[in-house]
Structure 1
Amino acid sequence: MTTTLQPTGVLGTTAAQLRSAELEELITTDPGRFRILTGDRPTGQLHLGHYFGTLHNRVRLQDLGIETYVIIADYQVLTDRDVADHLSDYVEELTLDYLAIGIDPERSTIFTHSAVPALNQLLLPFLSLVSVPELERNPTVKDEIVHSRQSSVSGLMFTYPAHQAADILFCKANLVPVGQDQLPHVEITRTIARRFNHRYGDVFPRPDALLSEAPLLLGTDGTKMSKSRGNAITLAATADETARLIRGAKTDAERSITYDPATRPEVSSLVLLAALCQGRTPEQVASDLGSAGAAALKRTVTDSVNEFLSPIRARRAEYARDRGHLRRILRAGNEQANAVANATLAEVRTAMKCNY
């Protein structure tokens, strides 16, 4: 793919939202001009926050015919951990989640970070194009350092933004679906692409961030939904596990159910979750419940979530019966990703005059 979108400069959230609206129009009229890179770190099972935040959008873009690469970033698990316990299991679980929600390996390339040496080799020239202060200012790096459970962080943590640039640029992706918190990663990727092209010649596109109108779902404890906090409803959770988690969800003392995220965040998050699963507005769900109270709200949410997840759970269970099939999907994806990465690295070597 050679199409490069017009540069947008360093974008704030408002500008990124405007640009995303433009991109959505282009996607509708000409999806073939785009190539997407997206993915996750294999640190546990994906949850409903992931689904409504990013996963359903990936399936939508795939189904529109956009060439899609989905990375399982197993090397990046090491950025904020001493060891990568159960990594192989987590990779399989992540693959199961992808298949269950509708990622199609016939139309999307699912691959693992560690299996694509040429991708990782791009990290070296990319690091030469950014300064240490630029890496230190990255919000994700700063946040991970603050919340790290280790006494100190490894040097690998500081390479995280450049490594993500390699993830995006190895396949010359020109579109990256992200949440607002990931905008700085796309911006540093654009910076690296611009600097490489200026120094060595035109090799890389400058990718655009595609912001979705992803709703913010709180965890059952009222804080950010997170795999590590034990407050998330995973896609793999059973109906009973889901019911137990929702029964324990934080609400408030008011009996009337309203949708008011600013003043009633916990209740509103539950209302929103039910609405998303039902395909309705939060206001409609709240109106139906009226003054029925928190117990009725939780029953509604439980029924809505379990009905919504039922077909996903069924597909997941079916795929889980054949773990060999998962490995075959990953091998095929790794083979495809390696072919693309090798070609890109060859271009980079030629541009840098490193062909010996």
Structure 2
Amino acid sequence: MNSIKENAAVADESKFEYERILTGDRPTGPLHLGHYVGSLKNRVRLQDKYETFILIADIQALTTNFEHPERLKENIFLVALDYLACGINPNLSTIIIQSMIPEIAELTAFFSMLVSVNPLRHNPTIKTEAKERGYKELTYGFLGYPVSQTADIAIFKADLIPVGIDQLPHIELARKIVRKFNELYNCNLMKPFALIDKFSKLVGLDGNLKMSKSYGNAINLSDNFDLIKTKIRSALTDENRIHPADKGNPEICTIYSYHRAFSNENLIRETEYDCKNGKIGCVKCKENLFKIIKELLEPMNERRSYYLNNKDEVWDILFTGTKKAGLIASDTLREAKESMKISYSFS
């Protein structure tokens, strides 16, 4: 793969004007600090700059949770609640329930005719997730969800997709599929560009490379402060430090990586210096981190409390956003089918 700067799929905001963002999550449970660092924080910032569409991808959630579809409704609500708590403004961002836009499924079917199985099997994101989950046999839905993601992007005419570096292969595939569709049918669907978030991954409390619900190493945005304090206390630090006065290696410490994600520059430098010179123990360092995270989450908790007391308002936001998005999706699918010469009339 080319370097990020050279990659044709990566946006260059200095050269081009972008209008609409599409981003989203699979609703598999409450969101955590890893989601906040990797995407939510950026979405809140970007919603003031671009027209923002946020997709709650409940159909794609079934690729790894097909045994329990009955959990989707609650998880959709929990994800929407986390969005609103983080500062997603429904007056600026359109939140969409994927399964309520049938045009996505139809465009997915059309796109699936244009991609062979091998590129999907060798997609590094697919391979990594399959390995993490221990999948020996891949379902059609799991293998093909990058095609579904391409339909998500194209149906809403999004031209900018905020992703971590690990998701870049999906955007490259999306561009190839859309390009092939446009060339084959003389259509003009939007080709997406990736907006790369440089700090897009938070390690787990256990030092694992990724904070994840499935690994049980996450701090949820909805956790109460007592639980968060307990989780931080249990987090892996520099195992070679026995006493507070021992000189540490912050580069290998989970807590220091969290400071880098959440603390201001002064505290980051101070923490690094004090750790390397044995001037701060891990217990005190964890206490400092807890204060920072508590300060971050307090305004989120206030917004969360409001929406928990007004649950109907959450669903109204979801249904209103989905209805708005549905009009765009219907228009896009009509254009695609007319280009394919399969827009039938029985008048």
Q: Same fold (TM over 0.5)?
A: yes
Q: CA deviation at 1:78?
A: 1.1
Alpha-carbon separation, structure 2, partners of 1:219 and 1:144 = 16
Question: Residues 167-206 of structure 1: matches in 2 within 5 Å?
Answer: 167-206=152-191
Contact 1:110 1:330 survives alignment (8 Å): yes
Alpha-carbon separation, structure 2, partners of 1:53 and 1:178 = 8
Extract structure 1 runs of 4+ deviating beyond 6 A: none
**Which residue matches 1:4?**
none
* 1:259 paired to 2:250: yes
Q: CA deviation at 1:15?
A: 2.5
Q: 1:63 to 1:271 in 2, by over 3 A?
A: same
Q: 1:18 to 1:259 in 2, by over 3 A?
A: farther
Please list the CA deviations of residues 173-211 of structure 1 after superposition, one character each: whole Å capped at 9, or x if unmatched.
Answer: 111000011001001100011000110013212111110
Contact 1:225 1:232 survives alignment (8 Å): yes
Please list the CA deviations of residues 32-73 of structure 1 after superposition, one character each: whole Å capped at 9, or x if unmatched.
Answer: x42111000001111111111111111111112x01110000
**Which residue matches 1:249?**
235
**Which residue matches 1:236?**
222
Q: CA deviation at 1:135?
A: 1.5
Secondary structure, counterpart of 2:47 in structure 1 = helix
Alpha-carbon separation, structure 2, partners of 1:259 and 1:149 = 32
* 1:115 paired to 2:100: yes
RMSD: 2.0
Identity %: 37
**Which residue matches 2:314?**
326
For residue 15 of structure 1, the aligned residue among 2, 6, 18 is 6
Contact 1:123 1:166 survives alignment (8 Å): yes
**Which residue matches 1:6?**
none
Q: 1:257 to 1:34 in 2, by over 3 A?
A: farther
Q: 1:229 to 1:135 in 2, by over 3 A?
A: same
Alpha-carbon separation, structure 1, partners of 2:45 and 2:98 = 24
Q: 1:47 to 1:288 in 2, by over 3 A?
A: same
Alpha-carbon separation, structure 2, partners of 1:200 and 1:304 = 54
Please list the CA deviations of residues 292-335 of structure 1 after superposition, one character each: whole Å capped at 9, or x if unmatched.
Answer: 22111111111111121111122112111111111101110110
Secondary structure, counterpart of 2:338 in structure 1 = helix
For residue 62 of structure 2, the aligned residue among 63, 78, 85 is 78
* 1:34 paired to 2:25: no
Secondary structure, counterpart of 1:122 in structure 2 = helix
TM-score (norm 1): 0.88
Q: CA deviation at 1:229?
A: 1.1
Alpha-carbon separation, structure 1, partners of 2:126 and 2:259 = 33
Gaps of 5+ in 2: none
Please list the CA deviations of residues 72-123 of structure 1 after superposition, one character each: whole Å capped at 9, or x if unmatched.
Answer: 0000011123323521111001001111111111111101110000122101
Alpha-carbon separation, structure 2, partners of 1:140 and 1:96 = 27
Q: 1:75 to 1:106 in 2, by over 3 A?
A: same
TM-score (norm 2): 0.90
